[in-house]
Amino acid sequence: MTIVDTVSVTDVSDWQRTTSRLLFPLRCRARGPAFSGRITQREITPGMRVSRIETGPFVAERPASLIAEDAADGVLVALQLSGESTLRQRGREATARAGTVMICEAGTPSRYEVRESVQTIITLYLAPAYSGLSGRLAARVSAVPIDMTVPGQVALQSLISGIDSPELTLGPDTGESLARAASELLAAVVRGILAPHDQVRQRRSAQLSELRLSLREQLGDAELTVDQLAAQHFLSVRQVHTLFSEESDTPAAYLRRTRLAHAERLLLLREHSGMTVSAISQASGYSDSAAFIRAFTRERGTSPARWAELRKEPARERSAQ
């Protein structure tokens, strides 16, 4: 085990150089006229390092430009012992207080901020081989506060604190075993975070599928409104819009696409069905044929009748050959 002597600094520039060497390249600035920082780091095994960090208010950023210069990957698991800090990553912002664990991806831009005068955290750096997380999973849980209500979080806290203990002694294989234990425990905690979210996501996906089915079944109703759709499914109008927005869609846009697709099928069958454009517009949920022709032309660039003719021409040419 390699022990890095404690480094204490009173200048944020020195702190930037120190943390960039011991963690990964960062850009740091103080949040006040005075600054002090102290870090003690030990390498438990290649691919896992533990650091105890005591610092005053400062901001650390890891922009894409620094990541491009230094391709450090893996995750940093931070246990907040005292004080308060904020991590921003992947569009999320999480605040950690005493007893909170947070995960930061080393290979993704991030911003870390300490506002209080004194704080202490323990960080555990795990290389990809030891993180126990795929890139997709790490992306879902970075900058998410993990408190003691998450299954396994207390055990993870204890493991991190134990690895940081100055009384820890390592045998020939102890470091590797600890790295594997940290990897498995972290993966278990992440599953504890994601399980409820996955259940919610599955339920919301099922609700959206039911709403879409209702719209398809009622596409011929020109008077159908979102209020009616919401009432049919015992949802609020806002909930309906939210479910569609999660797929970057709206009920109106989905219904419009569905109606046009239905109209296209009917147009292609006109020779056999004998349906007029007016009948097709009514069957597709348009209030009148003029509104249907305008909507169709706007979306497809040509009138319904001309669109159908253009689709038949290639078939006629193939038959002539």
Residues 158 and 46 in one domain: yes
Which stretch of DSSP H or E encloses residue 248? none
Residues 158 and 247 in one domain: no
User: Is 203 a member of any domain?
Assistant: no
User: Is 202 a member of any domain?
Assistant: no
pLDDT exceeds cutoff 90 at 33: no
> Which of 197, 226, 249 is at the close of a domain?
197
> Which of 168, 197, 226 is at the close of a domain?
197
CB atoms within 10 A of CB 63: 13
CATH code, 189: 2.60.120.280
CATH code, 236: 1.10.10.60
Q: Half-sphere exposure of 58 toward its Cβ, with a 13 Å CA cutoff?
A: 27
Domain count, the chain: 2
- pLDDT for residue 85: 94
Q: Which two tokens stand for residue 311?
A: 């689709």
User: Is 265 a member of any domain?
Assistant: yes
Q: Phi then psi for 60, rounded to 5 degrees?
A: -120, 130
Residues 191 and 241 in one domain: no
User: Is 191 a member of any domain?
Assistant: yes
CA neighbor of 145 nearest in space, from 90, 185, 103, 111: 103
Residues 7 and 144 in one domain: yes
User: Is 77 a member of any domain?
Assistant: yes
- Note the pLDDT tens digit of each residue in 296-318: 999 999 999 899 888 876 555 54
Residues 176 and 35 in one domain: yes
Residues 234 and 175 in one domain: no
- Note the pLDDT tens digit of each residue in 225-263: 999 999 999 989 999 999 899 888 999 999 999 999 999
Nearby residues of 267 by Cβ (< 8 Å), 6 or more positions away: 280, 304, 305, 307, 308, 311
Q: How far apart are CA 228 and CA 217, in angstroms?
A: 14
pLDDT level of residue 53 (50, 70, 90 thresholds): very high
Average pLDDT of span 272-281: 90
Residues 173 and 72 in one domain: yes
Average pLDDT of span 40-63: 93
pLDDT exceeds cutoff 70 at 39: yes
- pLDDT for residue 71: 74
- pLDDT for residue 31: 87
pTM of the model: 0.63
User: Is 311 a member of any domain?
Assistant: yes
User: Is 296 a member of any domain?
Assistant: yes
Q: Residue 97 sits in which domain range?
A: 2-197
User: Is 106 a member of any domain?
Assistant: yes
Q: Which two tokens stand for residue 158?
A: 């204890």
- pLDDT for residue 321: 47
CA neighbor of 101 nearest in space, from 135, 119, 124: 124
Say if residues 124 and 160 touch (Cβ distance below 8 Å): yes
Residues 184 and 225 in one domain: no
Nearby residues of 273 by Cβ (< 8 Å), 6 or more positions away: 266
pLDDT level of residue 125 (50, 70, 90 thresholds): very high
pLDDT exceeds cutoff 60 at 281: yes
pLDDT level of residue 3 (50, 70, 90 thresholds): low
DSSP codes of every residue in 18-33: HHHHHT---EEEESSS
- pLDDT for residue 70: 82
Residues 149 and 273 in one domain: no
Per the listing, tokens 């590797």 go with: 176
Residues 123 and 193 in one domain: yes
Residues 141 and 237 in one domain: no
* Dihedral over Cα of 180, 185, 188, 193: its sign: negative
Residues 186 and 273 in one domain: no
